[in-house]
Amino acid sequence: MSMAAIIEQKLHAALAPIRLEVEDQSHLHAGHAGAREGGESHFAVLIVAEIFSNSSRLARQRLVNEALREELAGSIHALSIRAVTPEEAGEIS
């Protein structure tokens, strides 16, 4: 299973998002620290979930990081997170 699929699976299970986009951006970091041949080391996540209501940006990031704790300790070198509520999602272009 690809790392993107693992990320999706874990975030769906932990946070029940209504929208989830996981993008492998490893190709943008080739030659940089933490980049691995074959990719799957740098990701961007857009997650829209009710669980983020009444939570600070930092608290939202912590929820995502906790769901991916094992992967962040090993395979994932960098993770960009955009975590928003359904109401805030209307502002995303």
Query: By mean pLDDT, which of 26-30, 35-39, 56-60 is the weakest?
Result: 35-39
What's the CATH number for 3-88?
A: 3.30.300.90
Residue in the structure block whose two tokens are 């209501």: 53
Instruction: Kindly report, residue by residue over 49-91, the tens digit of the pLDDT.
Output: 999 999 999 999 999 999 999 999 988 888 999 999 999 998 7
d(CA 35, CA 82): 21
